[in-house]
Each structure stands twice: as structure tokens, then as C-alpha cells.
Amino acid sequence: MKLRSVKALLIAALPVIALSGCDNKGTAKDGLEFKTEYQAVLMDNGQAYFGKLNRSGGEFIQLNDVFYIQNRVDQETKAVSSILVKRGQEWHAPDTMFINRKHVVIIEPVTENSKVTQLIKEAKIKEEK
């Protein structure tokens, strides 16, 4: 499916998804509420961030404890693999992310039994060691 088609589908589904899954664990101080601890924020450039939605009102939304997917190419085999990276390991070591609402396509819950949640739990265990 082409990226343009995926974006159109996500935009069409936004009202339904934004209203589903509402009510508690991930509660933005001034807006959306989710049952899950982590939320996925999909951007208009195709990037996805996974984090704890802290503030959703106004021009910017705030995410804490942020992760993103990074693709890596094995130079020998040319195989592409995706890894989950904790934001904050960059040179400027950000601990919070403020995202311009104009570039958000969709915000949805990350369920407790999802692959993303499993990878976040594994990353936190490694971080503690």
C-alpha cells in the first residue's frame, strides 16, 4: 500500500480511534485519556513515536518516556531490521518531547500485549542493569 493511501486511511480513522480506548492510565493533563500506559503518535512524515501522553491540549502535545523505531541495514547482507530506540540517547539527551499538533496524523493506545510494549519492557530491564 502506498504511503499516501496509508495516510488517507489513518486520517479517515482518526475520529474513531481518538475516541476509542479513552479512560485512564495514560491521561493527558488537559485532553485525551487512554486505558493504556503508552500511546503511539503517528506523524505526517511517517515517523511514529511511542510514549506517555502528558499534555494534549493546545498547539503542542507532550510525550514523556519516548521510544521510536529505527531501521538498520546490514551492509553485508543488505537485510533491513527494525529496532526500538529510547529517545534521550541522542547527543542533546532529551527527556521530554513536544510535538506540533499540526503534524500529528493519529494518536492511539499501545496495548499491554503488543510487540511495542514487550520491547519497551525489555529496554527498561536493560536500562536498570
Question: pLDDT tens across 64-87, in order?
Answer: 999 999 888 988 998 988 888 888
Q: Would you say residue 14 has pLDDT above 60?
A: no
Domain spans, the chain: 3-128
- Partners of residue 63 on adjacent β-strands: 53, 97
Q: Express as a percent the part of the chain with pLDDT over 90.
A: 40
Band (61; pLDDT cuts 50, 70, 90):
very high
Q: Would you say residue 95 has pLDDT above 50?
A: yes
- Partners of residue 49 on adjacent β-strands: 41, 68
Beta strands in 5-59 (DSSP E): 26-27, 33-34, 38-43, 48-55
- Partners of residue 97 on adjacent β-strands: 63
For the chain, what's the residue count?
Answer: 129
Whole-angstrom distance, CA of residue 112 vs CA of residue 71: 24
Which has the minimum average pLDDT: 16-30, 70-84, 102-116?
16-30
Report the pLDDT value the prediction gives residue 30, as an integer from 0 to 100.
60
Band (18; pLDDT cuts 50, 70, 90):
very low
Report, as an integer, the average pLDDT of 10-14: 46
Arithmetic mean of pLDDT over the chain = 79
Report the pLDDT value the prediction gives residue 28, as an integer from 0 to 100.
58
Who wins on pLDDT, 44 or 9? 44
- Which grid coordinates belong to 27? 491521561
How would you class 89 by CB atoms within 10 Å of its CB: exposed for 0-12, middle for 13-18, buried for 19 or more? exposed
Report the pLDDT value the prediction gives residue 39, as an integer from 0 to 100.
95
Can you name the CATH fold of 3-128?
A: SH3 type barrels. (2.30.30)
